[in-house]
Amino acid sequence: MTTHMQTIARGGQWLIEEAAEPVFTPERLTEEHKLIRQTAEEFVAAEVLPALDRLEQKDWTLARALVKRSGDLGLLGTDVPEAYGGVELDKVSSIVVGEAVGRSASFATTFGAQTGLAVTPLLCFGTEDQKQRYLPGLVTGDIVGAYALSESGSGSDALGAKARAVRQPDGTFLLSGEKMWITNGGFADLFIVFAKVDGEHFTAFLIERSFPGVSSGQEEHKLGLHGSSTTPLVMQEVQVPAANVLGDVGRGHKVAFNVLNYGRFKLAAMCSGGARGAVAEAAGYAAQRRQFGQPIATFGAIRHKLAEIAIREYAVEAMLYRTAGLIDGTLQGSHESGAMLSALEEFAIEASILKVAASEMLDFVLDENVQIHGGNGFVKDYPAERHYRDARVNRIFEGTNEINRLLVPGMLARRAVKGGLPLIAAARKIQDELLSPAPAEQPGDGPLEQERRTIAGMKKVALMVLGTAMQTYGDTLGDEQEVLSGAADIIIDVYAAESAVLRAAQAAGGLHAEAAAVIVNDAAGRVEIAARNALAAMADGDTRRTLLAALRRVMKPAPVNTVALRRRIADAVAGQKRYPF
Ligand SMILES: Cc1cc2nc3c(=O)[nH]c(=O)nc-3n(C[C@H](O)[C@H](O)[C@H](O)COP(=O)(O)OP(=O)(O)OC[C@H]3O[C@@H](n4cnc5c(N)ncnc54)[C@H](O)[C@@H]3O)c2cc1C
C-alpha cells in the first residue's frame, strides 16, 4: 500500500524552497489506515490500559503476552515484508499504530524497543539468513527484542563504548562488556549489542539470551515507566558466531545511528498519541470539576490551557504525517533494505526535529494536564501524575534533545557543504536580498496568506542565521553549541509552522486555520528572539547592526487576536471533551 504521495523530496528541502503541495496530513488517512488505527486503539483500550497496574508490578509474563497479542494483531510487522511474516504497510501506518500505542507509555516503550530498535536494524542490515532466523519471531512476538548501545560511561557518546569483541581463530567473537538502561532487558530473548572488535572497530552483533555468559542485572528504580523493564545487560566472554555480526565489522555506527533515526520518528508518534489522550483527559476533568459554583472548564485561564495543549499537538501531528508522507513518497512502496536505509538517512533531519518537538510538546501537555487537575493531578488516584512521570524520559533517550538539536543544523550544514542541498547559495541570496533596499510589499488576500508570508520570512531568518554561522565559524561551527541550538529552535519552528499551515489549508480552514494562525504567530515571536540572540553572538559593530536591521525588516508579522482564536479552539475541546481535530 502507498499513501499516494508521488513526489520524491529531499530531507531539509522545505527550508530552502516553498513547500511542494499537497503534503500528507491526518485528514488524508485511507480506510485501511483507519482500520489499523481502530484495531490498535481497541487493543490498547481493552487489553493494555487495564493491565498497567500489573505491568507496573513487573509482571513480565504479562508484558510478553501483550507483545504476543500485538503480533497476533499484525501491529509488530507493519514495516516488515510479507516474506518474513510482516504486513508490509507504509510509514503512515506505522505512525498510526505508534500513536495508538502511545496512550500507554510503559507498554509503548516495550513495543517501541521491539518494532523500532530490534526489527529495524535487522530489516536494514540483516543478511538473508539473519532475517529468516529472527524476523518472523519478532513479528509474531514469540521473540522479544532489545537494543543495547548505551553503557554507564557512554550514553550520548555511544561510540565511546567499552564493550569488546575479540576475534577468535575459528571466526567467532568473544564478547565482554556491560550495557546500561536496556529497555526490555529483563525479559528480551534477542539483543542488538554494540561492541568494539579488537578494541577498535565499532560493530553490531545479534546476541541471544541463551548464549552462555549473557545475563541481565537488576531492574532500575525509575522516575516513571514502571511498567517497562530497564536493566543492565552483562556479557562475560560470550561466544558469538560470525553469522551473528549485524552489518559489517567496523560499521556499527551506521547501524546505531540509522536505527535511531527511525526510533526518533516512531517516538514522536507515541508522544503525539499520548498528547491526544491527555487533551481528552484534561477536557473531561475540567468539565466535571466545579469551583466557585461552576465547572473549571468555564474559566478563561483553563480554557486557554485546553486550547493550547490541542494547538501544540496539532503542530506535531502535522509535522509527523507530513514526514511520513515524505518517507513513503521516497520509498514508493518498496520494502527493500537499501531503499529503507536511504529513506531513513534522507529524513534524519526531520526525525531529529520530530523527536525534540514531540517530546517537549508532550511534557508541556502533561504538565498542563496535572495543573488542570489541581491537587488531584499530584496524587496517584488519577492518571495525570503517572503520565507526567512517564513522559520525562522522552527528552533523554533516543538521543537527548540537546544532541538532537545539535544534529539538526549540523546535518543541514554538512549536506550544504557536500553539495546535496543548495543551502549556501540560498543563504547568500537571502543575505543579499535582506541587505538591499526593501521591495514594495504585495500582500495577497487568500486564506492563511498572512501566515504563509510570515513563514516565508521565518525561512529567510533561518537561512540568514545558518548561513552567517557557517561563514563566521567555518570548520569550528560544531563548537558553537549555543548558536547551533538557537538555529535548531528556529528550524524546528519553521517546520512546525509550515506543516500546520499546509495541513490547515488542505483541511479547508475552520478550526484548522485558527490553530495554524496561533502556531505561526507564536513561532514567529520565538524565531525573532532566537535569531536576535544568535546574530548578536556572531557579529559586532556595523555588521551586527546591519544583520539585526535585516531581521527586523523580515520579521514583522501583523498582529493576531490569539485570545479570540484560542477561545474558539477551547470551545471545541471543552465541547467535544477531546482533541477536536
Ligand atoms: C528508561 C530508559 C530506557 C533506555 N533504554 C535504552 C535502550 O533500550 N538501549 C540503549 O542503548 N539505551 C537506552 N537508554 C539510555 C539512553 O539512551 C541514554 O540515557 C541517553 O542516550 C543519554 O545518555 P546518558 O544517560 O549517558 O547521558 P549523558 O550522555 O551523560 O548526558 C548528560 C547530559 O549532557 C548532555 N550532553 C552529553 N553530551 C553532550 C554534547 N556533546 N553536547 C552537549 N550536551 C551533551 C546531554 O544532552 C544530557 O543533558 C535508556 C535510558 C532510560 C532512562
150 lines ligand 1 (CB under 6 A): yes
pLDDT in tens, 316-355: 999 999 999 999 999 999 999 999 999 999 999 999 999 9
Residue 499 has pLDDT above 60, yes or no: yes
For the purposes of burial, counting CB atoms within 10 Å of the CB of 88, is it exposed (0-12), middle (13-18) or buried (19 or more)? middle
pLDDT in tens, 47-92: 999 999 999 999 999 999 999 999 999 999 999 999 999 999 999 9
Average pLDDT over residues 198-217: 97
Q: Which residue numbers are catalytic?
A: 398
* Nearest of 531, 527, 521 to residue 563 by alpha carbon: 521
Q: What percent of the chain has pLDDT over 70?
A: 97
Report the 3 state secondary structure along 269-315.
Answer: HHHHHHHHHHHHHHHHHHHHCEECCEEHHHCHHHHHHHHHHHHHHHH
Residue 432 has pLDDT above 90, yes or no: no
Q: Which residues of 411-424 are buried (b: 16+ CB within 10 A; e: fewer)?
A: bbbebbeeeebebb
Whose alpha carbon is nearest atom 21 of ligand 1? 155
156 lines ligand 1 (CB under 6 A): yes
183 lines ligand 1 (CB under 6 A): yes
* Nearest of 184, 191, 204, 294 to residue 249 by alpha carbon: 204
Query: Helix, strand, or coil here: 177?
Result: strand
**Scanning the structure block, which residue is given the C-alpha cell 509552522?**
497
Q: How far is the centre of ligand 1, averaged over its atoms, from the C-alpha of 522 (Å)?
A: 30
Q: 437: pLDDT confidence band, cut at 50, 70 and 90?
A: low
Q: Which residues of 545-576 are buried (b: 16+ CB within 10 A; e: fewer)?
A: eebeebbeebbebeebebeebbeebbebbbee
Q: How far is the centre of ligand 1, averaged over its atoms, from the C-alpha of 356 (Å)?
A: 14
pLDDT at 6: 46
pLDDT in tens, 456-465: 999 999 999 9
pTM: 0.96
Q: 9: pLDDT confidence band, cut at 50, 70 and 90?
A: confident
Residue 106: which residues within 8 A CB-CB, separation 6 or more? 52, 55, 56, 225, 226, 227, 228, 390
Q: 419: pLDDT confidence band, cut at 50, 70 and 90?
A: confident
Q: How far is the centre of ligand 1, averaged over its atoms, from the C-alpha of 260 (Å)?
A: 13
pLDDT at 1: 43
Distance from C-alpha of 568 to C-alpha of 560, rounded to nearest angstrom? 14
194 lines ligand 1 (CB under 6 A): no
Q: How many CB atoms lie within 10 A of CB 209?
A: 17
* Nearest of 447, 462, 424, 454 to residue 521 by alpha carbon: 454
Q: How far is the centre of ligand 1, averaged over its atoms, from the C-alpha of 285 (Å)?
A: 35
**End-to-end Cα distance, the chain:** 25
